[in-house]
A = this chain, B = another copy of it.
Amino acid sequence: MSRSNPRVLATLERAGGFASAQEVYQLMQREGERIGLTTVYRSLQSLLNDKIVDLLHREDGEAIYRLCGESHHHHLVCKSCGDTVEIEGGAIEKWANSMAQEHGFREVGHTAEIFGLCSKC
């Protein structure tokens, strides 16, 4: 059972609590920390098990890790210019929970993104 390397968590925090494994790794490299990519992956996996971070996916499928405890939010993304707005997702939480309960699912998480054209585009 591998415990998570505390420097990985520290770096994720420094990155704004929202980054992919590759990004965390590159950040640590640039800051001169000596760490292997494998360890970054393992640490993030372990933080995930301990429910210290959440896992979601970018549009291209790359996994991004988000610090839990950060206020849980979703994204409104412009299809044209890529501009992103963080939005509240209270309604989604309730929806996800009630749907899960209705079908007997436990330990539920969810992803939700909205995309469209922003006022400028």
Query: Which A positions have Cβ atoms within 8 angstroms of B?
Result: 57, 61-63, 76, 78-79, 85, 87, 89, 91-92, 94-96, 99-100, 103-119
Instruction: State the oligomeric state as a number of copies.
Output: 2
- The CA-CA distance from A69 to B111 in the complex, in Å, is 22
19 CB contacts below 8 A, A to B, read: A61-B61, A76-B99, A76-B103, A78-B105, A85-B103, A87-B103, A89-B95, A92-B92, A92-B112, A105-B114, A106-B116, A106-B119, A107-B117, A109-B115, A110-B112, A110-B113, A110-B114, A111-B112, A112-B112
Q: Are B114 and A96 in contact (CB under 8 A)?
A: yes
Contacts of A107 in B (CB 8 A): 79, 116-117
Contacts of A87 in B (CB 8 A): 99, 103
Contacts of A115 in B (CB 8 A): 108-110
